[in-house]
Chains A and B, each alone.
Chain A
Amino acid sequence: MDVPQIKKAAKVYDVVIVGSGAGGGMAAYQLSKAGANVALLEAGGYFDPADPKYINQLKWVYESPRRGAGTTRAFGDFDAAWGGWEIEGEPYSAAKGTEFHWFRSRMLGGRTNHWGRISLRFGPDDFKRKSLTGIGEDWPLGYEDYAPYYDKVDDLIGVFGSKEGLRDAPDGRFLPPPKPRLHELMIKKAAKGIGIPVIPSRLSILTKPIHDRGGCFYCAQCGRACQAYADFSSSSVLCIPAVKTGRVNLINNAMAREVLTDAKTGLVTGVSYVDTLTMTEQAVMGKVVVLAASTCETARLLLNSKSPRFQNGLANSSGVVGKYLNDSTGASRSAFIPSLMDRKRYNEDGVGGAHIYTPWWLDNKKLDFPRGYHIEYGGGMGMPMYGFGFGMEGRNNMVPGRDGKPKEAGGYGADLKDDFRRFYGANIGMAGRGEPVPLESNYCEIDPNTVDRYGIPTLRFNYKWSDAEIKQAKHMQDTFEEIIHAMGGIPLGKKPGPENNYGLEAPGKIIHEIGTARMGNDPKTSVLNKYSQAHDVKNLFVVDAAAFPSQGDKNVTWTILANSWRTSDYIIDQVKQKNI
């Protein structure tokens, strides 16, 4: 297509990459290091965790007039994300009776500036769910294909953990893990006693400095992004070094509108975009286009890139683009641990995340739901933030007062003030993160009625959980209570039951969405081949989680990084062989 008012740049890049998050950052890094000239389009602004302009790290809670409340930032006033569940002028919708929540960050590095840094490899079984269980889909690749890339990602980016020898939670090339905090030791002891494993977390945080980056100084604030570059953000660890090669033209505030194609050859020729600062239409041309705008946005781009040759959207002869969208399941519970009252104070900030976790430990063949989950834990004597002290009237009668006498819940005055001190650091939380069954009926599509402020048609989601996920959430809730009781704890609030799907979070809420342009060997049932190359268009690639046929009971980002590296290697190889 050729819209006259679009300013087409004369230069033709070797590669145009859309999006600078985990997937796009890794591709920009690998391709530029290999010598390619890259244009990197990023819809959001420039961000560098080490530039004082952007730093929230080590600020005190009272430096925020709202004391850290999440009024303009969903995960709190100091969180690094620019964006959130809603972005002004960029709406999305859900079909009646369905629900999906879409978290977007508009900035260099995307959502990796403030993610949880939980960096898990998929296990061998995660690639073979269909052959193992009869439902879902197999990947066209196996663990053995990814293992060398996981190793390389571990070495380049850095991740701590421990060698456990677990079959479906494979060990990596780990930095030393931090020791558990007090409540984590208590969780570990209690869970072990009832047969639930608890092992050191696997987080991409540098407990030892590597490459030119600083070591972690244990401020617990990775969500604010680390000025020492001691945690993994695509901005600091991939994009900025890639720009330093001199071969990457980073174009910020560039909102991709469509992938451009040549009507004769059917190949992609570049990307048109809106310069969001000047609101002008631009285009950048390239020999190869790599999409990494994040799972749903990549589907949106493909579906919006319609032309007489690609009437269904680009790379969509299968009709599969947008389908099989799936997010991790999530359910949680918190508890009060009486033995943690009146704790001795010391600095237990630690790293910006739990120091322990529970990998999936059971056999689904013996359960009434087909997929597993892992458990993440929280607690400790953190910096008091907005919300501290709310709900005390449901808590301070659970244990006798200092004088040993029963107490009335609620209250005021010196006695209440003392209760806040006594209860500080005595709460824990746990959250299950599970694998859903990918379904064709869960999908995103172009909303026929709506455009965003740039005039780009928006997404409409269609997503419903199935019985498999609801039963899994029920199992999570039972497990949480078992662990809490084994610790001598008191679960807080009412146990979630069938009336609210056992606390199962709405689709999208766990922010691990994948699957809208899945890879596979059959072009009729998949969008990409096993190199994340479009079946229909050989110079078009996808390096975010849109490519993934399934989720695993792991968080997905480490696999995005491994897959993007693998795809980049393939692109380099194909260019060398003059195939693209």
Chain B
Amino acid sequence: MFRIIKKSLTIGVVTGQYQKGGTPAVPVVPEVKKKAGLFKRSFAIREVDTGSCNACEMEMNALMNPVYDAEQFGIHIAASPRHADALIVTGPVTVNMERALKDAHKQTPDPKLVIALGDCAIHCGMFKGCYAVTGPVERHIPVDVRIPGCPPRPADILEALSELRKGRP
């Protein structure tokens, strides 16, 4: 018990100990900002992996660690698309995942945002044109925000997500 408390005390607060502002924030169109403004300070995200290499997932996971601590901005991960305000999609859409992605999108209540995370989700990256890949996310569902990078750094993802909700009324 004392050991745990001592550990926590000696470590202190690590949140925010990362390099900020590497790349300029992703531009967000005003309509999307307006839509995002609805979610105020609570923003539930469902992550859908449609064929990524899992580095994008790792960075999403990193977002939840104490260093980035996305929860402090009201961003949390919903267990089901039905509880989500936004879908974050990673990876090119493979032939096998196409249906699952469309289903998840249908199950997410309106109004919703779709965020394409990583180069694969935006333009298929290295997997463009392959028989097993049907195309980028926007071929199947409308995409509101694109966060480029392979994989994007957690700092960039966080930056983009806060940029998104800056216009909140």
Q: Do these two chains really belong together in a complex?
A: no
